[in-house]
Structure 1
């Protein structure tokens, strides 16, 4: 008896086993892209962009201010992380037909902020360049996907849960400290999410956003500073300076943060939603875009976890990619009008951003806990979660990496049977 092999299945298997993952072919045309686009995708893309343009931007501003960067240098940094990474996000999401949000490493930004107290800005830029080259080199080996596949998913998801926990606790604090803004947002989210018919009429996240905007308008809490009339970004081409001190201090932590911590989170989030992120291609892209970003003074590019979690928070899996395209296009707009957008975000109450991010991340946080503690490697997952939440740092590397390492060691010693089953 002879059988014929399904060519579509063969192409899919080849794409997943090739050294560099190939996107589906042909790419989605304009008619399919518009057909797959809907209110849920637009809402998820908008919320993902708003999240990236609020709290994470505050981290950049804090790091740049601590390092004595000029407003022009910080504006150029923000242009790079939005406009350049927006191009990559929209392009990759469209080609691979899955949400692939590339932004910047927040832990890496925090590391850079500490280094700016004793390193000059050109020295830090030199470390960005070397980090980008190292990430490209590691991606070109074609082994990143295999290495990441060796990490047990419950332990990786426990790291993700530890990182995402802050969004849940910030939501609770916002309700307690600024109920006038937070409570209407939570009520709108719960009501619209309680019935499928309500959710089809208006996505719960979008409802929470509108409820918060209405509460801010009614209470007169929106205070825009009109002193700065510069709305359009003016990126600065900046020259790096290569010193052993900066390279030794920053390159390895930035590389680990991008490939293991940030890309690991993004891959785990997408996998839990039914997507297979192209890890080898993503690593090479992160390295190339990190080199481009360094030219305008921006920190390394990564496949972000929280934003991708927001893009897959709702809607059909086959249409998630359109949320990535929307997010990328909006990010390019934010990059072009970075000064104006930052002013708008800073004019809103802190509780608005915290509540919006919290309700948007609830499902992702729930899924992380279920994936981490529902099957095997539970002790290792618990250790990973605790170390990640502790926010401890060692050798200038953040807690998420050490949590992942500690969980793997504990599981290898005390849950060796789970490794044998796998």
Structure 2
């Protein structure tokens, strides 16, 4: 334990590795990561009859657990490992929690994360990750990230007065400094929202979160109907694409370590209304991509900053809910889109470069990843990898 604490302390406080781009990337990653799934959380609350206190507790538990695990994993490995909740899991819970006593739902959350922990302990997941070729991983990552760029473009239709100035500024600043382009867009977006009155600041107030502890109950029906789907969705929709994304940026991640840290944190957070904490498959590109820092070995600070912001947001979860309900979604879309352009370009380049003999497979993977293909309630990320592997190895063996 002393060695673990010493390693975390030594690695975390290598201040010479800290940079302003990492700071900006970390902050933006959390803003982008909260914007979409938070809406789904309120849909879950409505369908399951959760109270405002339980929703605030959910956000608190998610933020604190994600923040601590992001800092811990990134400090130990010196890699930008950013954690998030299982977005496919939230979408599933919109209907999955209907009619289920919440105590039993909490028990199901715990069982789901115990199953994931077992996967990490046995080393099964490491072998799965190692079997995914770089071209497939990169194509998958590009497909996951591309919708962010498309949403940024679509924002021009709905809020041109916000989207156009932000996009134009990005490319102007990028001519002089790629490092400061995203930061400039971030500041301009906030200024535009406040100036144009599209961001309602009158309702904002500091409000500390009060966690709500729910005693778990373990019902067989809830375990079958909630635990198993949550586990499959987390592994296929978050762990697999999230860790594959890290590979596409050139990081050799200890996947077993990540699974263990995330699942243990999830078990602890579950009684406070949170489901699964896992590697992000969407905002990973912001902290692991070139905009976080040109030096691969210094990008881990972006995830550490993100972890700190997570903890701040969690502490003020009530205030955060009010803040994001007042921020125009178009501003978030543009911010996410420009933040991920370099990551998308790098992933596409890697996908094609790594498989020069036959570019069809990465293109197929990319196409499936950007689609809305869903089979057995499992989303396109899993099917993109599965079909990519089925196509890749026979072709490679033949070559």
**Is the structural similarity TM-score above 0.5?**
yes
Structure 2: gaps of 5 or more residues: none
Larger Rg: 1
Report the CA distance shift for 1:199/1:165 in structure 2 as closer, same or farther (over 3 A).
Answer: closer
Matched residues in 2 for 1:296 and 1:215: separation? 37
For residues 264-275 of structure 1, the aligned pairs below 5 Å read 264-275=240-251
More divergent stretch after superposition (228-237 vs 139-148):
228-237
- Alignment pair present for 1:205 and 2:186: no
Matched residues in 1 for 2:171 and 2:4: separation? 37
Counterpart among 69, 73, 95 of residue 50 in structure 2: 69
Q: Is the 8 A contact 2:113 2:267 kept in 1?
A: yes
* Alignment-derived partner of residue 188 in structure 1: 169
Report the CA distance shift for 1:420/1:335 in structure 2 as closer, same or farther (over 3 A).
Answer: farther
More divergent stretch after superposition (326-335 vs 265-274):
265-274
* Partner SS state of residue 84, structure 2: strand
Counterpart among 211, 214, 220 of residue 238 in structure 1: 214
* Partner SS state of residue 298, structure 1: coil
Matched residues in 2 for 1:253 and 1:164: separation? 24
Matched residues in 1 for 2:5 and 2:206: separation? 42
Q: CA deviation at 1:375?
A: 4.2
Q: CA deviation at 1:231?
A: 0.9
* Partner SS state of residue 278, structure 2: strand
Matched residues in 1 for 2:116 and 2:374: separation? 22
- Alignment pair present for 1:116 and 2:97: yes
Structure 1: gaps of 5 or more residues: 1-21
* Alignment-derived partner of residue 219 in structure 1: 196
Please give the per-residue CA displacement for 1:72-131, whole angstroms capped at 9, x wherever unaligned: 111111111111210111122112111111121111111111212343333322221111
Counterpart among 153, 166, 182 of residue 172 in structure 1: 153
Q: CA deviation at 1:410?
A: 3.5
* Alignment-derived partner of residue 296 in structure 2: 317
Please give the per-residue CA displacement for 1:244-295, whole angstroms capped at 9, x wherever unaligned: 3322233333223333431222222222322221101111112111111211
Count residues with an aligned counterpart: 392
Counterpart among 390, 395, 398 of residue 417 in structure 1: 395
Matched residues in 1 for 2:108 and 2:359: separation? 38
Q: CA deviation at 1:371?
A: 2.9
Matched residues in 2 for 1:392 and 1:234: separation? 39
Q: Is the 8 A contact 2:109 2:276 kept in 1?
A: yes
Matched residues in 2 for 1:156 and 1:124: separation? 33
Counterpart among 371, 386, 389 of residue 408 in structure 1: 389
* Partner SS state of residue 390, structure 1: coil
* Alignment-derived partner of residue 267 in structure 2: 291
Report the CA distance shift for 1:336/1:248 in structure 2 as closer, same or farther (over 3 A).
Answer: same
More divergent stretch after superposition (279-288 vs 383-392):
383-392
Report the CA distance shift for 1:24/1:235 in structure 2 as closer, same or farther (over 3 A).
Answer: closer
More divergent stretch after superposition (330-339 vs 387-396):
387-396
Matched residues in 1 for 2:221 and 2:367: separation? 32
TM-score normalised according to structure 1 size: 0.86
* Alignment-derived partner of residue 13 in structure 1: none
Counterpart among 69, 78, 81 of residue 59 in structure 2: 78
Counterpart among 272, 276, 280 of residue 256 in structure 2: 280
Matched residues in 2 for 1:109 and 1:304: separation? 14
For residues 39-78 of structure 1, the aligned pairs below 5 Å read 39-78=20-59
* Alignment-derived partner of residue 33 in structure 1: 14
Q: CA deviation at 1:419?
A: 4.2
- Alignment pair present for 1:146 and 2:127: yes
* Partner SS state of residue 234, structure 1: coil
Matched residues in 1 for 2:377 and 2:12: separation? 48
For residues 379-398 of structure 1, the aligned pairs below 5 Å read 379-398=360-379
Matched residues in 2 for 1:58 and 1:303: separation? 20
Matched residues in 2 for 1:263 and 1:363: separation? 23
Matched residues in 1 for 2:308 and 2:166: separation? 26
Q: CA deviation at 1:185?
A: 1.2
* Partner SS state of residue 306, structure 1: coil
Matched residues in 2 for 1:404 and 1:23: separation? 34
Q: CA deviation at 1:364?
A: 1.8
* Alignment-derived partner of residue 253 in structure 1: 229
Please provide the CA RMSD for this pair: 2.4
TM-score normalised according to structure 2 size: 0.90
